[in-house]
Amino acid sequence: MAFLDDALEVTSRRHGNVTVIDIKGDVTTFADAKITEAYTAATEAGAQKLVLNFHHSNYINSAGIAILIRIVTSCGRHGQKLAMSGLNEHFQKIFRMVGLSQYADIHETEEQAVAALTGA
């Protein structure tokens, strides 16, 4: 059973030339290793376009935001394009407030994010 355990699931898929990283579970300090690993693996595999898909995350805290900021920084360094999808309204708002939306387009659905990056 989950509760306090790290029930986070992070998996990667390819949609054409876009890599979708699915994040299911709490995005807190405990999510750091798994999310960073998935991002690093995608980058080492040559991914230039990435979607972080939060469809199943209901809890993202400030430590989670710090993880995502580090990924934004790393994407900038590697010349990668980054988009986010599946965030509920509250977390979309937080990401805009923090300023993350200037560095990663925020889309409602994964399909929209993939389409936008594919066209980009």
Partner 1 sequence: MRRPWSSKRARSTEQPIELRLPSCLGYEKVAMDTAAVIAERMGFGPDRVAGLRTAVSEAVTNAIEHGNQGVRNAEVHVVMAIQDDTLIICVRDQNYHQFDRSYGIQRPDLQRALRGEDVGWGMWLIRQFVDEVEFTGVPNGGNEVRMVLRA
Least distance to partner 1, CB of residue 85, Å: 18
Q: β-pairing, 9-15 with 18-24? A: antiparallel
- Based on the shown chain and the rule CB under 8 A, indicate whether residue 40 belongs to the binding site for partner 1: no
- Based on the shown chain and the rule CB under 8 A, indicate whether residue 76 belongs to the binding site for partner 1: yes
Q: β-pairing, 49-53 with 9-15? A: unpaired
- Based on the shown chain and the rule CB under 8 A, indicate whether residue 73 belongs to the binding site for partner 1: yes
- Based on the shown chain and the rule CB under 8 A, indicate whether residue 79 belongs to the binding site for partner 1: no
Number of Cβ within a 10 Å radius of residue 79: 7
Rounded Cα distance, 95 and 117, in Å: 19
Tell me which residues touch partner 1 (CB under 8 A). 1-4, 6, 26, 28-30, 32, 59, 61-63, 65-66, 69-70, 72-73, 76, 88-90, 94, 97-100, 103
